Amino acid sequence: MIISHLTLKNWRNFRSIDIDLQPRTFIVGANASGKSNILDAIRFLRDIVKSGGGLQKAVSERDGISKIRCLSAKGTSDIEIHIHLAERENMPPLWKYELGFRQENIGGSVGASGTRAAVVYERVYKANDSKPLFSRPDKEDKDDSFLLQSTSLEQPRSNRAFRPIAEFLESIQYLHVVPQLLRAPDSYLKASNQEDVYGRDFFERISNTPERTRTAFLKRIEKALQFAVPQFVKLDFIRGDDSKPHLQASYKHWRATDALQQENQFSDGTLRLIGFLWSLQDGSKPLLLEEPELSLHSGVVRQLPEIIAAVQHKRHSTPRQVILTTHSADILSNSGIALEEVVILETTKNGTEAYSPATLKDARALLNAKISVADIVRPRTEPKNIEQMTFDF
């Protein structure tokens, strides 16, 4: 399945947005326009259903509802997230899930200890049914408002009729590789229940992958690196003298034998590219990526959309959805990107708006005239009067 549609109301930057998502979706916008916040809304639903999660914990990890709620919202304090799940693109939804929640004062001083999240409504629709399969608040909720502190989505006893939604959301992956953590993971202390989104345990993840699968993944990465990294020859998975898992690369050298390097000597770009290529292969459910172009040469960046498409096309029956944020004109200059695959975020006085460039007048004609998506999108996302920022220096 894929997330085919997302609606957010009163969520961080967004007063209200209603967008379609494709198997390959590129979210673009200026700094602080809310690109990461769209991914975080999806992660929020995943955090509700994951082991050890739940509505209260998902809210707490984001510093409370007051930090989540949109400052531009008017007339409502409710936060709403709706998603549609479809088998693949251009197909009607199999499921619709809708959640509304708000802050509730439980006494004491206003703050994290004096407030909690309370479900305002929770609805599940199957396929295109107009009548919900499941709806809250119900009679039990009205008799005991304490029950509204939890969603039914997170409770196995309550979500039996729509458990595929919970299982799908729980499997969503998010990764934003920080090269420094891959080089020196012990320099960053992570709580035992904290998600590893920055790659601290990346090599352990590789180590825990079945050998046959690991070998196949690394062989494909090795072939890609031979084109992307000068003098690169071979990539091996090894265990060092410290018994910990490592990646070792061979480089052609002026000497007869190849030079060897382990990951602590890899460049930032090489490490980020390895993380990107591994994560694309590792799993079948949606993958959320933040700015994969960082530290990479523009020539490599232009190929990233093609790599994503190649991995997806190997899964003809169930293409893996990849949703990524980007600032890069190089990514969007790829001629294979359709207008419908891009979501533009544009900031306004009333919060950030989100829309597809396919809705813009003449966009289709410009694309047919060989104008790239990047050139169509750039005027909408580039800060206005940006050249004036140098005047005071």
| Helix, strand, or coil (residue 258) | coil
Cβ proximity of 274 and 262 under 8 Å: no
* pLDDT at 304 (0 to 100): 94
Nearest-angstrom CA–CA distance, 12 and 73: 9
- pLDDT value of position 113: 55
Residues of the chain under the 70 pLDDT cut: 106-113, 187-196, 254-256, 315-317
What is the predicted pLDDT for the residue at 74? 74
3-state secondary structure 162-182: HHHHHHHHHCCEEECCCHHHH
CA–CA dist 308, 305 (Å, integer): 5
- Give pTM, 2 decimals: 0.91
pLDDT in tens, 227-246: 999 889 999 999 877 788 88
User: How far is the C-alpha of 375 from the C-alpha of 366, rounded, in Å?
Assistant: 9
pLDDT of amino acid 358: 92
Residue 13 CA to residue 219 CA, distance in Å, equals: 41
In tens, the pLDDT along 278-307 reads 999 988 889 999 999 999 999 999 999 999
Q: Which pLDDT score is estimated for 110?
A: 44
Return the pLDDT at 180: 83
pLDDT recorded at residue 254:
59
Contact 51, 58 (CB under 8 A): no
Of 134, 109, 138, residue with least CA distance to 124? 134
Q: Which residues pair with 173 in a beta bridge?
A: 287
